[in-house]
Amino acid sequence: METMRAGTVDNKGKITPIAGLLEIRLYGSNQGPGGAGASCKTDVMCGVSPGIWDPTTR
Amino acid sequence: MVWVSTRWLKLRQRGTAQFVSISIVFSIGFICTVSSNGAALSSNRASIPERLAFAGDTSFSAKRIRTIPDATDTECPDPKAGNTLGPGTADSDLVVAGGTCMVNSGTYMYRNINIIKGGTLQFSDAAITLYAANIIIENHGNDACWHRR
């Protein structure tokens, strides 16, 4: 399951934030419409099943 | 008698002129030969051939085609390097697979980061700066900004 968490989570679901400063900086030029972006490693659909990946099949 | 003397002088002048011309040609040839061999230079400076080769180096050509090296994949955790993330470079991609990759305090730079099935990118509770052009958390990947206590 894909998850992004900041801090700790105890058994009761209580979240304790981290104290350190975490910076994630995304860099790169704007490719505009039709930009390729990065590709997935798992497969072209990033490991997601076609039924979920393609909105027309939902 | 006068005609013979005049004729002889003309021939002598012509011969002298030919001799001088040939001498100049041979002198130029000799200088070029010595220069190209780099011999007969008693100084310590670089020989002329080295300088010529240096000047002809394509690295100084304005028409040199610059090539961007392909990005290299860095895997984390890695059986050899361990499960701690290295600093990376702007020309390296990071693939997190098959375990937990620990990010400790520091500055990191990668081009593309792919977190794929079975991989967890886990940030320590510390001052961390991560530069990335793209971060993809693929299905069943895990980007955990916390640490277990």
Residues of A in contact with B134 (CB under 8 A): 26, 28, 37-38
Domains of chain B, residue spans? 2-60, 72-144
User: Do residue A2 and residue B145 have CB atoms under 8 angstroms apart?
Assistant: no
B33-70 burial, b if ≥16 CB within 10 A, otherwise e? eeeeeeeeeeeeeeeeeeeeeeeeeeeeeeeeeeeeee
User: Do residue B146 and residue A25 have CB atoms under 8 angstroms apart?
Assistant: no
Q: Given CA atoms B54, B56, B59, B61 in this order, what sign does their dihedral have? A: positive
| pLDDT of res. B26 | 58
A21 touches chain B (CB under 8 A): yes
Per-residue pLDDT band at B118 (split at 50, 70, 90)? confident
**Ramachandran area for residue B107 (φ above 0: left; ψ -120 to 50: alpha; else beta):** beta
Task: List the single residue in B138, B145, B148 with the smallest CB-CB distance to A46.
Answer: B138
Q: Which pLDDT tens digit goes with each residue over B58-111?
A: 444 444 444 455 678 899 988 888 899 999 999 999 999 888 899 999 999 999
Could you tell me if the ipTM is greater than 0.90?
A: no
**Ramachandran area for residue B24 (φ above 0: left; ψ -120 to 50: alpha; else beta):** alpha
Please list, in sequence order, all residues whose beta carbon lies within 8 angstroms of the beta carbon of residue B140, skipping any fewer than 6 positions away: A1, A2, A47, B116, B117, B118
Closest listed residue to residue B137, CA positions, set B97, B105, B109: B97
Q: In degrees rounded to 5, what are phi and psi of residue B94?
A: -115, 130
Higher pLDDT, B135 or B34: B135
Contact B88, B109 (CB under 8 A): yes
Task: List the single residue in B128, B142, B146 with the smallest CB-CB distance to A23.
Answer: B128
User: Do residue A2 and residue B137 have CB atoms under 8 angstroms apart?
Assistant: yes
| pLDDT of res. B19 | 65
Q: Which pLDDT tens digit goes with each residue over A36-47?
A: 888 999 998 898
User: Do residue B137 and residue A8 have CB atoms under 8 angstroms apart?
Assistant: no
Higher pLDDT, A43 or B2: A43
Q: Which pLDDT tens digit goes with each residue over B16-70?
A: 667 666 666 555 554 544 444 444 444 444 444 444 444 444 444 444 444 455 6
Give the strand order in the sheet containing B72-76.
A22-26, B128-137, B106-115, B92-96, B72-76
A20 touches chain B (CB under 8 A): yes
**Nearest chain B Cα to A23, which residue?**
B129
Quote the tokens at residue B128.
């961390």
